[in-house]
């Protein structure tokens, strides 16, 4: 389902709240209910999964079951995410950090201009809100995060170059191949325009993850006040909102204690550091994909978990799943 403000529609961000997003979903159900008279399932990925849980909280009778994939429940600068990098393959994480430090330090003079030339050639991105050097640093800060979010297989780890012996071209390729994943470069004007509504959400209601930056700052590799690509910047001309801690806490509690919601997370997805663990007495369930990343779906689950999730859906939807 399209989402207001994210799609360019919507002018007054004061009205952009979780309740408004839920209201829009409710309006769709009301208009379509007479056409689709069977059971209804609400499903979403990442922030969309959080939206579907919020929709269920505000309109519990609109759908019969909810499945949220990779949905993080966070507070501002959420420190739980720092520990994620201790849970993944240590040798691979060490290699990622070595590439990160080389890109920001010893090899920066070669890697940064090569990366920004590729950005200009491939995307035509401009950097008026955030200067190119700061955008490069933000991309480097998130480099290990992005690798685990979208890659992270044993083959991906094996393909990482050793900065001690790699050429500047090899380092640039490894760095750019990960940080250009969005089809526009982190913190570019196009990136901030595309994700501006999301950044408003994280600062108003969703929260955002803390990234490991203390050592990089101490080593002089990035400035202490670097704006990272998880918190980002709200759209130009829009007032930075006050975070609604009460609403945030209420939704997280509902996710733990509610009924009829299944959560699917992945071991190698950094967003899973914000995973919900349903209370034993709740009617919600959680499933975890071994070695999966942020794009893991139903088919990524083990055979046993697919059967368990199917049984959960059959019970809540009142149908038989072939």
- The length of the chain in residues reads 322
Alpha-carbon torsion 140, 146, 151, 152, what sign? positive
Class of domain 15-30+40-74+245-317: alpha beta
194 close to 133: Cβ distance less than 8 angstroms: no
Cβ atoms within 10 Å, residue 253: 14
286 close to 265: Cβ distance less than 8 angstroms: yes
Q: How many CA atoms lie within 13 A of 176 on its CB side?
A: 21
Cβ atoms within 10 Å, residue 233: 19
C-alpha separations of 135 from 127, 197, 249, 270, 305 in Å: 8, 19, 32, 21, 41
| Closest to 82 (Cα-Cα) out of 150, 154, 144 | 144
Quick one: how far is CA 198 from the chain centroid? 10
Strand arrangement of the beta sheet that strand 41-45 belongs to: 41-45, 65-69, 259-266, 283-289
Per-residue model confidence (pLDDT) at position 112: 99
From first to last of its 322 residues, the chain has per-residue pLDDT tens of 888 898 777 779 988 999 999 999 999 999 999 999 999 999 999 999 999 999 999 999 999 999 999 999 999 999 999 999 999 999 999 999 999 999 999 999 999 999 999 999 999 999 999 999 999 999 999 999 999 999 999 999 999 999 999 999 999 999 999 999 999 999 999 999 999 999 999 999 999 999 999 999 999 999 999 999 999 999 999 999 999 999 999 999 999 999 999 999 999 999 999 999 999 999 999 999 999 999 999 999 999 999 999 999 999 999 998 8
Per-residue model confidence (pLDDT) at position 10: 75
């Amino acid at each position: 389902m399209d989402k207001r403000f994210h799609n360019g529609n919507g002018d007054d961000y004061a009205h952009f709240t979780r309740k408004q997003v839920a209201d829009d979903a409710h309006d769709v159900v009301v208009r379509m209910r007479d056409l689709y008279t069977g059971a209804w399932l609400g499903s979403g990925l990442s922030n969309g999964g959080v939206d579907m849980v919020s929709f269920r909280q505000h309109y519990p009778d609109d759908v019969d079951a909810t499945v949220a994939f990779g949905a993080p429940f966070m507070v501002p600068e959420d420190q739980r995410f720092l520990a994620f990098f201790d849970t993944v393959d240590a040798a691979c994480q060490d290699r990622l950090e070595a590439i990160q430090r080389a890109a920001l330090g010893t090899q920066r003079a070669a890697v940064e201009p090569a990366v920004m030339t590729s950005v200009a050639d491939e995307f035509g991105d401009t950097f008026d809100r955030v200067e190119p050097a700061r955008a490069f640093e933000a991309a480097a800060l998130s480099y290990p995060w992005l690798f685990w979010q979208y890659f992270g297989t044993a083959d991906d780890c094996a393909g990482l170059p050793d900065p001690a012996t790699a050429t500047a071209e090899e380092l640039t390729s490894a760095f750019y191949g990960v940080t250009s994943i969005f089809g526009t470069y982190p913190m570019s004007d196009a990136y901030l325009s595309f994700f501006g509504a999301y950044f408003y959400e994280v600062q108003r209601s969703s929260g955002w993850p803390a990234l490991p930056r203390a050592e990089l700052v101490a080593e002089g590799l990035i400035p202490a006040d670097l704006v990272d690509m998880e918190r980002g910047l709200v759209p130009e001309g829009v007032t930075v909102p006050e975070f609604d801690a009460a609403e945030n806490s209420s939704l997280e509690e509902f996710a733990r204690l509610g009924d009829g919601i299944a959560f699917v997370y992945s071991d190698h997805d950094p967003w899973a550091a914000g995973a919900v663990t349903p209370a034993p007495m709740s009617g919600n369930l959680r499933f975890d994909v071994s070695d999966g990343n942020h794009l893991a779906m139903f088919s990524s689950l083990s055979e046993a978990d697919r059967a368990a999730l199917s049984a959960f859906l059959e019970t809540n939807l009142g149908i038989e799943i072939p």
